């Protein structure tokens, strides 16, 4: 019999990071593990619908399953149109995908949609699907204050209405100044309400920061130099439109950031390259001089060329807000496993699996 863990939580609570860490640990331990995200969102425009979290898992672990089996339902904006003839067809599609995920597997990791209440209006919310799969739920919530305890208890009670057990809660992305309170007052309060806290994970922005490769992909940019630096993390953006004599104090802020300026501003670009930016974006489809290209290549700084103006370029980068990177490099997978695994009691989370194997 397969052991199913349903990783749920509100948007941007670190569900994919938990799935990455757990999948990696189980696979390396020789456990046959499957992955499923029954309901996805944010379909790709102009191509087949792909949930970005599923794309990340596929890339990270070279999953061979078809996209429709890993994520059978990908919702657009007006998703209730899918249910104009009832829910049975969609429910059957989800159950079929789950049966494929559990075949010959010891553990199935199910990743929830962006919000636990999604599709509650048609009876296909997380609690209903967890009951259908016979899954135990791990609830991930951002540990930003005392309300984290309220959310965890409220969700535990909601699961109970569908006969689903909450295996434990993870207090995720906890700011440094809140860590001890989460480990103490908040965890103790939850324990008194019979909610086990199986992890308090401090905030590590490097888990969710986009890479230069993400930026290049989002902008469909041409990489003119510095390809070796495409996996660098991006910790913000800096727009340069000032005179050279006023630039250096401003450019010192570009360390680990992407510097964006017009392609005709060779003076600013050469100065920016001295301050260790993550990358430089040249706008307006204006190719730089050989001196600029050579300097970027020598310093290993990616030099990206886009056709749009600077304002449009910055607008297109808004979705890369540090919450959901597009690509997952091998280095980021290892970082995720090490950081998340260090703070979560996976042995406690998998106790049911161990008991199942002993039975």
Mind giving me the DSSP string for 5-36? EEEE-STTSSHHHHHHHHHHHHHHTT--EEEE
Name the pLDDT band for 56 (thresholds 50, 70, 90): confident
Contact 354, 136 (CB under 8 A): no
- pLDDT tens digits, one per residue of 125-145: 999 999 999 999 999 999 989
The whole-number average pLDDT for the span 87-95 is 93
Name the pLDDT band for 247 (thresholds 50, 70, 90): low
Residue 351: per-residue pLDDT: 83
Name the pLDDT band for 359 (thresholds 50, 70, 90): low
The whole-number average pLDDT for the span 284-292 is 91
Residue 249: per-residue pLDDT: 61
pLDDT at 319 exceeding the cut of 80: no
pLDDT at 50 exceeding the cut of 80: no
pLDDT at 204 exceeding the cut of 70: yes
The model's pTM is 0.78
Mean pLDDT across the chain, nearest whole number?
A: 87
Residue 241: per-residue pLDDT: 65
Q: Are strands 39-40 and 107-111 parallel, antiparallel or unpaired?
A: unpaired
Share of the chain above pLDDT 90, in %: 50
Name the pLDDT band for 328 (thresholds 50, 70, 90): low
The whole-number average pLDDT for the span 289-312 is 92
Buried b (16+ CB within 10 A) or exposed e, 28-56: eeebebbbbbbbbbbbeeeeebbbbbbbb
Query: Greater confidence, 108 or 46?
Result: 108
Name the pLDDT band for 112 (thresholds 50, 70, 90): very high
pLDDT at 296 exceeding the cut of 60: yes
Query: Greater confidence, 329 or 306?
Result: 306
Q: Where are the domains of the chain?
A: 3-207+327-358, 212-316
Cα–Cα nearest to 113, from 23, 40, 14: 40
How far is the C-alpha of 262 from the C-alpha of 283, rounded, in Å? 5
CATH level 3 topology of 3-207+327-358: Rossmann fold (3.40.50)
Residue 318: per-residue pLDDT: 75
Query: Is 212-316 in the same CATH topology as 3-207+327-358?
Result: no
Contact 259, 240 (CB under 8 A): yes
Domain 212-316 carries which CATH code? Answer: 3.40.1390.20
Query: Greater confidence, 291 or 251?
Result: 291
How far is the C-alpha of 259 from the C-alpha of 349, rounded, in Å? 43
């Amino acid at each position: 019999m397969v052991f199913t863990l349903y990783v749920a939580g509100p948007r941007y609570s670190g569900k994919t990071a938990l799935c990455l860490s757990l999948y990696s640990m189980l696979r390396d331990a020789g456990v046959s593990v499957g992955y499923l995200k029954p309901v996805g969102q944010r379909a790709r425009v102009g191509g087949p619908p792909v949930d970005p979290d599923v794309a990340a898992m596929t890339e990270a672990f070279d999953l061979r399953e078809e996209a429709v089996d890993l994520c059978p339902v990908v919702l657009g904006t007006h998703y209730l149109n899918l249910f104009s003839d009832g829910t049975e067809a969609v429910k059957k599609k989800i159950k079929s995908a789950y049966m494929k995920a559990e075949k010959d597997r010891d553990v199935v990791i199910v990743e929830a949609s962006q919000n636990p209440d999604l599709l509650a209006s048609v009876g296909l919310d997380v609690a209903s699907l967890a009951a259908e799969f016979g899954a135990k739920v791990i609830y991930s919530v951002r540990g930003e204050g005392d309300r984290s305890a309220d959310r965890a208890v409220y969700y535990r009670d909601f699961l109970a209405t569908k006969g689903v057990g909450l295996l434990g809660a993870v207090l995720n992305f906890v700011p440094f100044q809140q860590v001890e309170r989460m480990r103490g007052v908040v965890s103790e309060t939850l324990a008194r309400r019979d909610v086990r806290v199986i992890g308090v994970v401090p905030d590590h922005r490097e888990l969710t920061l986009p890479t230069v490769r993400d930026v290049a992909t989002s902008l469909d940019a041409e990489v003119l130099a510095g390809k070796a630096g495409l996996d660098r993390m991006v910790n913000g953006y800096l727009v340069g439109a000032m005179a050279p004599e006023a630039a250096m104090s401003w450019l010192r802020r570009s360390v680990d950031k992407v510097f964006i300026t017009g392609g005709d501003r060779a003076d600013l670009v050469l100065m920016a390259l001295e301050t260790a930016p993550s990358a430089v974006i040249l706008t307006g489809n204006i190719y730089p001089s050989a001196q600029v290209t050579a300097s970027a290549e020598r310093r290993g700084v990616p030099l990206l060329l886009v056709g749009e103006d600077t304002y449009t370029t910055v607008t297109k980068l808004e979705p890369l807000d540090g919450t959901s990177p597009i690509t997952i490099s091998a280095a980021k997978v290892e970082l995720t496993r090490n950081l998340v695994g260090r703070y979560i009691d996976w042995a406690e989370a998998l106790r049911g699996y161990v008991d199942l194997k002993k039975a």
